[in-house]
Chain A
Amino acid sequence: MSKNQKKKSVSLSAKKARLGWVFVSPFVIGFFLFYLVVIVESIQYSFMEVETLPEGGFITHFVGWSNYEYMTRTLTTFMSGLWATVRDMLYSLPILLLFSLFVAVVLNQKLKGRALFRAIFFVPVILSTGIIAKSDAANNVVSAFATMNTGEMTTVAEEASAAFSINGLMYYIEDMFSFAPWLLEFIETAATNVYEVINQSGVQILIFLAGLQSISPSLYEAAKMEGCSSWESFWKITLPMISPMILVNIIYSIVDCFTRYDNNVMNSIQSMITLTDYGHASAAAWIYFCAIALLVLIIFGIASRFVFYQGKER
């Protein structure tokens, strides 16, 4: 390579680096404009005791690590709730992923009424977040108190889980096959949580569908010409091509498990905020945040090794 060419390629990569910054600039600006301030403030609060004054406003004074000590040592329910959330998440993650991939593959096929089924599977996306869930919950709580009769949502959930509450069957399985206890517990969680799995997998199904729709049909045609069965092309084409989206769904599912409105730890943090106990709430939020970040980092590290990118090595 001559000197001239080398110089040219260096300036090209420098140019590409600059262009990269141009592309991410909106996000970087947003980071400095909103996120950084918010983060710094929240960290500050976690080291302070915040007292609201009766005439409005509040005073703060520095208390060091005591908020953190309170959350980890004194308030035992917080840490045990945190562990329970982590355990539940680890159990439900594989089930969620398998279920949503399966449904997405089925919905991506040619079948009659596909548009209708897709529309139906979109409904949990609407129902799970935002106002609909809140308005139902509010009405249900009130009516539960008023008539001592649980509202419609819970009734359905109860009915559904009752249909799958299979203690007898579990006992039978335990008797018949000597499965390891963890495997048994795993199966039991899967079976009893069917309703929740369906309701929590809406987003994942849509993400997988988008991934499946992005796979070129010509790949499948070529595989068919070579004599691949559809089972083989699932493992050799669909799975590698969808693997970047599997990673997205893993991360999303973890975060969703931790930040759902019905998560116990989130609720306890929110109630601290409502009680204007900002110091403890911030400390709790940061412990929680670090736990999620650590978990995401570990799982991301493991899962990234298995992801296939069609683009070039970089």
Chain B
Amino acid sequence: MMTYNQFKQSHGARILRRGTLKALEYALLIGLSYYILSPLLLKIATSFMAESDLLDSLVVYIPKELTLWNYRRAAEFLNYWESLRNTALISLAAGLLQMLVCSFVGYGLAKFKFKGRGIVIAVVFFSIITPPLTYQPSMYLKFRYFDVFGIIEAVTGSSVNLLDSLWPLLILSVTGFAFKNGLYIFMMMQFFRGFPEELEEAAYVDGYGVFRTFFRIILPNSVPMLITVFTFAFAWQWTDTFYTSMFFSRIKTLSNMLSRGFEGMNVEGHAMALAAGQPLTIALGGTYSLMVIFPLVIVYVFTQRFLTQGIERSGIVG
């Protein structure tokens, strides 16, 4: 017979303990996942239903006849493929630019002492705090009659209308004033402040300049942070309505299309066009939002994979 103390230290007990912990972990993760996914589950279920199933109160989750009709009609009516291409391009450009610019600015704030640094940090904070809503009208006018300190008007005689082009977004991204860029700058600043300085000093000793050090040494060692900033910038540009509705009235994007919705769509077998709040309208809207979410999740999984590889490749500081 084993005493309790002997049992506690035995191999079997250790396995048991670890197994219980793992089981608890999985139970928690699965429970939370169900919570997160539950609003989507119904959407996924209804997206495969025919209209007869939507009206049938006996059908909740499992459709009687599986159909891709919703996907086909939603893609067709709201120009899915064209919008997807546009959105992907815009988000990619915004994501990459914001990632680079914000880490650049964040590095400057973290590693260089200069007069006025405190003020710049304060401005970063202010830009995090101000809700975008408060500057919407001014921002719109700014890009409708775009000018750099009156120079353009002096040269060409009039200001430029930059609406319905990629320029407003690119300009905002390059200057670190696009959606939530203050947060990214702050994130990168905090990260670089915790970055050991030996690495940079070693690079300087090797004759690297500041910029070369930044691009060749610092950035490759900041992959997890960079990827996270990129993910945020990409995902929020993907689902953004604030800038897209302000800047792109003719460029078709996924969020523009989804906010247009399915009202007024003509369906065969219906005398009248679809109205808001009808089961079919909701089902189509849900289907389209799934079609918006799904590519994003794939991109995220892809970047996570890239991330784990990136760490192995670059070798981490310590």
- A: residues with CB less than 8 A from B are 13, 16-24, 26-31, 33-35, 37-39, 41-42, 103, 106-107, 109, 111, 115, 117-127, 129-132, 134-136, 138-139, 142-143, 145-147, 151-153, 156, 160, 194-195, 198-199, 203, 206-207, 209-211, 213-214, 216-219, 241, 244-245, 247-248, 251-252, 255, 258-259, 266, 269-270, 273, 278, 282, 285, 289, 292-293, 296, 308-312, 314
Contact = CB atoms under 8 A, between A and B. Distances in A.
Contacts of B311: 213
Nearest to B316: A216
Interface string B148-175: 1000000000000000000000011011
A17 B105 CA distance: 14
B194 A244 contact: yes
A243 to B, nearest CB: 8
Contact of A23 (B108, B190, B316): B108
B8 interface: no
Contact of B297 (A122, A147, A213): A122
14 contacts: A13-B113, A20-B111, A23-B105, A23-B109, A27-B185, A34-B175, A131-B240, A152-B43, A156-B38, A156-B39, A214-B222, A217-B316, A244-B191, A285-B134
B86 interface: no
Nearest to B128: A255
Given A42-B138, A206-B232, A309-B193, A29 B175 contact: yes
Contact of B36 (A21, A27, A121): A121
Contacts of B135: 34-35, 38-39, 42
- Among A16, A135, A273, A278, the one with the most B-chain Cβ atoms within 10 Å of its Cβ is A135
Interface in B36-61: 36-40, 42-43
Interface in B239-274: 239-241, 254-255, 258-259, 261
A267 B42 CA distance: 29
Given A31-B123, A244-B191, A24 B139 contact: no
B120 A27 contact: yes
A152 B39 CA distance: 7
Given A20-B113, A103-B32, A33 B148 contact: yes
A137 to B, nearest CB: 11
B242 to A, nearest CB: 8
Contacts of A203: 232
B259 A123 contact: no
A111 to B, nearest CB: 7
A259 B133 CA distance: 9
A24 B307 CA distance: 27
Nearest to A122: B300
Given A37-B142, A248-B190, A312 B197 contact: yes
Nearest to B210: A19
Contact of B289 (A30, A132, A282): A132
A143 B176 contact: no
B104 A136 contact: no
A296 B129 contact: yes
Contact of A35 (B123, B193, B232, B300): B123
Interface string B294-305: 001100110011
Nearest to B262: A139
Contacts of B227: 210
Interface residues on B, range: 35 or more
Contact of B108 (A22, A42, A145, A269): A22
A75 to B, nearest CB: 18
Contact of A285 (B101, B131, B171, B238): B131
Contact of A37 (B131, B138, B191): B138
A209 B228 contact: yes
B202 interface: no
A134 B25 contact: no
B20 to A, nearest CB: 15
Contact of B285 (A22, A28, A42, A135): A135
Given A27-B176, A126-B296, A314-B113, A289 B130 contact: yes
Given A16-B113, A130-B241, A214-B191, A41 B25 contact: no
Interface string B196-240: 110000000000001000000000001011011001100110111
Interface in B53-108: 101, 104-105, 107-108
A209 B191 CA distance: 13
Contacts of B255: 130-131
A30 B241 contact: no
- Among B29, B110, B124, the one with the most A-chain Cβ atoms within 10 Å of its Cβ is B29
B153 to A, nearest CB: 15
Given A38-B135, A135-B289, A293-B126, A130 B193 contact: no
A93 B7 CA distance: 42
B127 A35 contact: yes
A136 B289 contact: yes
A33 B175 contact: yes
B232 A139 contact: no
B304 A120 contact: no
B18 to A, nearest CB: 11
A123 B231 contact: no
B187 A248 contact: yes
Contacts of B304: 115, 118-119
Contacts of B278: 146
Given A194-B35, A210-B225, 13 more contacts: A17-B114, A23-B109, A23-B112, A27-B120, A31-B177, A34-B139, A126-B238, A130-B255, A146-B277, A156-B38, A210-B228, A213-B307, A255-B183
